[in-house]
Amino acid sequence: MILLFVVLFPIVAALAILLGAPARRTALWSAGILLGATLLLSFRFEGDTPGGYEMVTSFSMSSDWNINFTLGVDGLSLMMLLLTALVTLAAVWFTGEIAEHRNAFYACLLFVSAGAMGAFASLDLFFFYAFHELALIPTFLLIGIWGTGDREVAAWKITIYLATGSFILLLGLIMLYRAVPETARSFDFRVLQKSAILIPAKAQGNIFLLLLLGFGILVSLFPFHTWAPQAYASAPAPAAMLHAGVLKKFGLYGLLRLALPLLPAGAQQYNTLLIYLLLGNIIYVGLVTIAQKRLDWMLGYSSVMHMGYIFLGIASGTLVGTTGAAVLIFAHGISIALLFALAGEVRQRTGTLVLADLGGLGKLMPLAGFAFGLAAFASIGLPGFSNFAGEVMVLFGTFRNGANPERFTIYQWATVLALWGVVISAVYMLRAYRAVFMGSMGESLSTITDLRRSLRVPIGLLVAITIWFGFFPQTFVKLVKPTFQSYFAAKQ
Amino acid sequence: MTIVAPSLEIAVLVLGVLVVLFETFADQVDKRTFAYTAMLGLATVFVASFFLPTSATETADTGFWSFYTADPLAIFFKRFALVTTILVLAMMIDYAPVVRESIHGTTRQSGLGEFFALPIFTCAGLMWMASAIDFVMIFVSLELVTVSFYVLVSFTRRNPASLEAGIKYLILSALSTGFLVYGITWIFGVTGETNLARVSTALANPAIESGPALFAMLLVLVALGFKIAAVPFQIWVPDVYQGAPTPVTAFLSVGSKAAGFVVLLRVLQPFLVMPRMERLLVVVAAATLIYGNLAALPQTNLKRLLAYSSIAHAGYLLIGVVCLNGEAVVYYLVAYLLMTLLSFAVLVVVSRQTGDNIEDFNGLAKRSPFLAFAMLIAMASLAGLPFTVGFLGKFYIFNAAIAHHQTTLIVVGVITVACGFYYYFKVVRAMYWEAPRGDVAVPVSGISRFAMSAMIAAIVFFGIYPQPIVNALRP
């Protein structure tokens, strides 16, 4: 029941706001309630059924298709739900003055959040897909109406890319559904997990390719990444937080949830291709990030680049690497949300995000500078932040796959190249930090004030979480590991 | 009392005759009363259709039942025609002032009565066509539909665009009718039969020459291609759709197309065993998809955009036909009915105040949030977003395509779906981003508001819970 509540509550809240409830207050309260309910959910979660789902509720939608509205959580989806609730609260909190259509803005935010919540809690392919698409129109409107810069192009680009990616994904899902004999067909993850061994290797390969392409476009896998930086640069800060932090992770979650356990043979066939592409994310996009001259574009590209590490974890083929990918999904979601929030605040005060025009803001905005520094460190992957734990696990996991002291395989080479990515991200993050917060400020910037005091709460929340999991990553690993253990146990 | 199937059509015909008869003598009455009465009458017939005996599939070899069937598909499409007509009449009530301005009759209301009566006859024709299983019957019912459309398309006769549309429709439609009759004679010549079932058995006989049979089928396909607006018989669509009175356009794009597809499903069944036929249909479907979607991209007039979109949707429906998946086609048609009529309903109301260009929808969200929301749902459904009926329709269609390994059509489909997002979202963009022209709210009558709300509810309901429609198709 509580699961049903967290999925439907944001929709109800959004509709209430559309119908005229006081926008900010309702949104803030409902985001708070959402987080509370999700926390309650995680306390109720027992986690002692490896590979099993808890709190399953199910309603039949179509008996001859076997489509059910089934909700349930395991460690992995619980982690995603927590991430969604956290970032939603932060995004609503960080929403500044909205000039026009205030209610619609908050309703759109909550709809995006509802789409993510529903997708992560669904145990049915159909609703898993449908909830994600629910966020498409709100995203289009958020960027189109309230965006800045070249918002029109950005909104079209993200919409067309995501729509195409989703449609390819849909074809893959239908093929997955049809790949097993007619009597075993189901949209239910649990049934699929049992019947997936019946899929022949060739079909697995085709389906995996479609899923990789579909999910890959949604997660900005190189070379389908160009929509992301542009959209995040134009989007209002809360929308960028929600999309980059949460919604984009849907594709990664889908790969972890569907492609890896159901199509192991397909994954093996296309692992090499995936590794080449993700190195494009890490190295090529990393270098492109260094060349950026605007903070928002730089953050957008950096988020594309970091997807490469998560893909590396997915491609690693080891338990440690895969678990690391899941931890990194969470860690990246928190840190990128914080970075976009602070960039949004800087833009609101200075009116520009061109790195060359900024400088010395650390003196005027010490709180923002401090928080940005922490988030930048986290994003680089310094020890003590949760990203570090995730990246280390990913890199170790990949390196260990088929490790042979005599000869490097593609996994070892990928690890070595990916390690350079850490240096690249240190270069652009620290450069951006220096350009914005250090040095001397221009005349025009001298009247700028620091963040509102009330914003200390969401910043404190996000920073505390990333530090907590940096020091105690075990709490998370324990949560998500059972999911992956069952994958690798089934393989052997 | 048990109701037998043909009495539904007869009831509708009688209703039409009564409306024409009474409105001639009732000059003092508000003519819109007749529209309301007709809607009520059609609704009664709709309800009555649920009380038909369930096992009404008489299989007489000769006599009436060799012309007429009452299988679930037929009953379903009778209901489909009834719902469409009721919704179109609701739109026509809103459109009445425009008709009044463009007729200049002897009285203030002249012409209105016929305007409301003609759709009832069309409806009877559509219902008849759904049951037709004999080429003669198909031809007769098709003509009943087409002839009433000739009048309806050019109804606002002071408007040159409407007249032009009427002429174009008349000439091309007559031409396609010629093809149909010629095809039927060839079929009769080859097989000696006009009943579909018997044609099918005759064709299965290896002694039959397949060349002439194929030629006959091609001729019939040309005629039906015209009805469903498939490439290369789509040329009339944009001009006729734009010129015709908007409710008639809606009727044309839903009723006429649906009837075409029912006939196509029935007629193709015996012929699709020939592989050449399937290849031909794949080409037509792909061409229709590509043409409809690409041509819709640059449109700036919403009526024209919807015309091209109707060609595009004919392409998706043809995928279902190629795979001979009746369920997918029917589901898609239901989806198409709801979303197309909803967008036309909003268009009728808005265009009366400003116009039917996409620009005229600028800032509609500020002026009339309800209308903008209704249009948003319609566009989301046409584009195929989940939780709308349009998504499930595409889901059914592409599931059928995957089951039949129609790789070409799937690849074309991916491209065209992406195109669809662009041109449908263009309307959303106009309504929500652009600054409004003036801040006067668009007035909406109670009945339109009710019809729109019902359609929105149906779009969302059937988008989540498809089972009722699927069940209705099963005996």
Segments forming the whole domain that contains residue B156:
1-271
Residues of B in Cβ contact (< 8 Å) with A134: 385-387
Which residue of A70, A105, A124, A141 to mutate against B (max B Cβ within 10 Å)? A141
User: Do B248 and B297 fall into the same domain?
Assistant: no
B135-153 vs B160-191: helix crossing angle, rounded to 10 = 170
What integer pLDDT is reported at residue B1 of this predicted model?
47
Beta bridge partners of A69: A59
Q: Does A133 sit within 8 Å of B428, measured CB to CB?
A: no
Asked if B198 and B192 count as a contact pair (C-beta separation under 8 A), the reply is no
What integer pLDDT is reported at residue B62 of this predicted model?
64
User: Do B284 and B313 fall into the same domain?
Assistant: yes
User: Do B202 and B66 fall into the same domain?
Assistant: yes
Residues of B in Cβ contact (< 8 Å) with A170: 395, 398
B466 min Cα distance to partner chain A (Å): 6
When mean pLDDT is compared across A56-65, A137-146, A216-225, B446-455, the lowest value belongs to A56-65
Tell me what the pLDDT averaged over chain B comes to.
86
CB contact set of A43 (below 8 Å; sequence gap of 6+): none
Tell whether A450 lies on the interface with B, counting CB pairs under 8 A. no
Q: Does B466 sit within 8 Å of A62, measured CB to CB?
A: yes
Residues of B in Cβ contact (< 8 Å) with A141: 428, 432
Distance CA A469, CA A168 (A): 35
**By CB neighbour count within 10 A (0-12 exposed, 13-18 middle, 19+ buried), where does B50 fall?**
exposed
Q: With bands split at pLDDT 50, 70 and 90, how would you rate the model's confidence at B235?
A: confident
Q: Can you tell me which residue has the tokens 């990916």?
A: A418
Distance CA A305, CA A225 (A): 9
Least Cα distance to A223 among A299, A280, A279 occurs for A280
B310 min Cα distance to partner chain A (Å): 20
Tell whether A111 lies on the interface with B, counting CB pairs under 8 A. no
Q: Does B417 sit within 8 Å of A171, measured CB to CB?
A: no
Query: Is residue A19's pLDDT more than 80?
Result: yes
Tell me what the pLDDT averaged over chain A comes to.
86
Instruction: Name the residue with higher pLDDT: B107 or A167.
Output: A167
Query: Is residue A90's pLDDT more than 70?
Result: yes
Q: Does B399 sit within 8 Å of A168, measured CB to CB?
A: no
Asked if B191 and B199 count as a contact pair (C-beta separation under 8 A), the reply is yes
Q: What is the mean pLDDT of residues A94-102?
A: 79
Least Cα distance to B267 among B142, B171, B148 occurs for B142
User: Do B283 and B192 fall into the same domain?
Assistant: no
A186 min Cα distance to partner chain B (Å): 14
The shortest CB-CB distance from B421 to any of A134, A163, A178 is to A163
To 5 degrees, how large is the angle CA A463–CA A467–CA A468? Answer: 115
What integer pLDDT is reported at residue B333 of this predicted model?
92
Asked if B306 and B241 count as a contact pair (C-beta separation under 8 A), the reply is yes
User: Do B388 and B431 fall into the same domain?
Assistant: yes
Which residue of A18, A174, A227, A234 to mutate against B (max B Cβ within 10 Å)? A174
Residues of A in Cβ contact (< 8 Å) with B385: 133-134, 136-137
Q: In this structure, what token pair is assigned to residue B374?
A: 């209704």
Residues of B in Cβ contact (< 8 Å) with A167: 413-414, 417-418
User: Do B472 and B390 fall into the same domain?
Assistant: yes
Tell whether A136 lies on the interface with B, counting CB pairs under 8 A. yes
To 5 degrees, how large is the angle CA A459–CA A321–CA A424? Answer: 60
Residues of A in Cβ contact (< 8 Å) with B414: 164, 167-168, 171
When mean pLDDT is compared across A45-49, A168-172, B2-6, B255-259, the lowest value belongs to B2-6
For the stretch A284-312, pLDDT in tens is 999 999 998 888 899 999 999 999 999 99
Q: What is the mean pLDDT of residues A13-34?
A: 86
Residues of chain A above pLDDT 90, percent: 18
pTM for the whole structure:
0.90
Query: Is residue B57's pLDDT more than 60?
Result: no
User: Do B294 and B441 fall into the same domain?
Assistant: yes
Q: With bands split at pLDDT 50, 70 and 90, how would you rate the model's confidence at B61?
A: low
Q: With bands split at pLDDT 50, 70 and 90, how would you rate the model's confidence at B107?
A: low
Identify the closest residue of chain B to A18 by CA–CA distance: B369
B214 min Cα distance to partner chain A (Å): 34
Q: In this structure, what token pair is assigned to residue A18?
A: 């559309």
Asked if B371 and B444 count as a contact pair (C-beta separation under 8 A), the reply is yes
Q: Can you tell me which residue has the tokens 């109707």?
A: B310
Which residue of B406, B417, B439, B456 to mutate against A (max A Cβ within 10 Å)? B417
Half-sphere exposure of A385 (CA within 13 A, CB side): 22
Q: Can you tell me which residue has the tokens 């190295």?
A: A283
Residues of B in Cβ contact (< 8 Å) with A174: 395, 398-399, 402
Q: Does B387 sit within 8 Å of A140, measured CB to CB?
A: no
The shortest CB-CB distance from B421 to any of A129, A145, A159 is to A159
User: Do B319 and B467 fall into the same domain?
Assistant: yes
User: Do B128 and B244 fall into the same domain?
Assistant: yes
Domain count, chain B: 2
For the stretch B109-127, pLDDT in tens is 677 888 888 999 999 999 9
Residues of B in Cβ contact (< 8 Å) with A139: none
What integer pLDDT is reported at residue B316 of this predicted model?
93
Tell whether A59 lies on the interface with B, counting CB pairs under 8 A. no
Q: With bands split at pLDDT 50, 70 and 90, how would you rate the model's confidence at B60?
A: low
Q: What is the mean pLDDT of residues A90-96?
A: 86
Asked if A13 and A103 count as a contact pair (C-beta separation under 8 A), the reply is no
Residues of chain A above pLDDT 70, percent: 97
| ipTM associated with this complex | 0.86
Tell whether A202 lies on the interface with B, counting CB pairs under 8 A. no
Least Cα distance to A136 among A153, A156, A121, A122 occurs for A156
CB contact set of B151 (below 8 Å; sequence gap of 6+): B114, B118
User: Do B260 and B308 fall into the same domain?
Assistant: no
Of B235, B250, B271, the position where a domain reaches its end is B271
3-state secondary structure of A318: coil
3-state secondary structure of B90: helix
Identify the closest residue of chain A to B467 by CA–CA distance: A62
Which residue of A133, A153, A158, A234 to mutate against B (max B Cβ within 10 Å)? A133
Long-range Cβ contacts of A95-103 (<8 Å, 24+ apart):
A95/A24, A95/A27, A95/A236, A95/A237, A95/A238, A96/A344, A96/A345, A96/A348, A98/A146, A100/A145, A101/A145, A101/A146, A101/B365, A102/A23, A102/A24, A103/A17, A103/A18, A103/A20, A103/A21, A103/A23
The shortest CB-CB distance from B386 to any of A61, A101, A130 is to A130
Identify the closest residue of chain A to B411 by CA–CA distance: A168
Q: Is the dihedral of CA A155, A161, A167, A170 positive or negative?
A: negative
For the stretch B379-397, pLDDT in tens is 999 998 888 999 999 998 9
What integer pLDDT is reported at residue A312 of this predicted model?
92
What integer pLDDT is reported at residue B343 of this predicted model?
93
For the stretch B418-437, pLDDT in tens is 888 899 998 988 888 888 77
Asked if A283 and A312 count as a contact pair (C-beta separation under 8 A), the reply is no
Distance CA B414, CA B409 (A): 9
Q: Number of A:B CB contacts under 8 A?
A: 76
Residues of A in Cβ contact (< 8 Å) with B370: none
Residues of A in Cβ contact (< 8 Å) with B387: 130, 133-134
User: Do B243 and B285 fall into the same domain?
Assistant: no
Q: Does B428 sit within 8 Å of A159, measured CB to CB?
A: no
For the stretch B316-367, pLDDT in tens is 999 999 888 888 899 999 999 999 999 999 998 888 888 888 888 888 888 8
The shortest CB-CB distance from A167 to any of B403, B414, B422 is to B414
Identify the closest residue of chain B to A69 by CA–CA distance: B464
On the question of a cis peptide bond just before residue B245, with omega within 30 degrees of 0, the verdict is: no
Q: What is the mean pLDDT of residues A312-327?
A: 88
Asked if A14 and A114 count as a contact pair (C-beta separation under 8 A), the reply is yes
A427 min Cα distance to partner chain B (Å): 38
Distance CA A201, CA A179 (A): 11
Instruction: Name the residue with higher pLDDT: B30 or B186.
Output: B186
Q: What is the mean pLDDT of residues A1-6?
A: 86
Of B235, B256, B271, the position where a domain reaches its end is B271
Asked if A304 and A229 count as a contact pair (C-beta separation under 8 A), the reply is yes
Residues of A in Cβ contact (< 8 Å) with B426: none
What integer pLDDT is reported at residue B133 of this predicted model?
87
Distance CA B222, CA B215 (A): 11
User: Do B83 and B116 fall into the same domain?
Assistant: yes
Residues of A in Cβ contact (< 8 Å) with B467: 61-64
Distance CA B416, CA B452 (A): 28
Q: In this structure, what token pair is assigned to residue A54?
A: 């808890």
Distance CA A360, CA A442 (A): 8
What integer pLDDT is reported at residue B125 of this predicted model?
92
Tell whether A170 lies on the interface with B, counting CB pairs under 8 A. yes
Q: Does B398 sit within 8 Å of A170, measured CB to CB?
A: yes
Distance CA A304, CA A375 (A): 16
Asked if A102 and A23 count as a contact pair (C-beta separation under 8 A), the reply is yes
Query: Is residue A407's pLDDT more than 90?
Result: no
Identify the closest residue of chain B to A66 by CA–CA distance: B467
Q: From residue B305, how far is each of A429, B201, B427 by CA, in Å?
A: 47, 43, 10
**Which residue ranges make up each domain of chain A?**
2-484
Q: Does A164 sit within 8 Å of B414, measured CB to CB?
A: yes
Q: Does A133 sit within 8 Å of B391, measured CB to CB?
A: yes
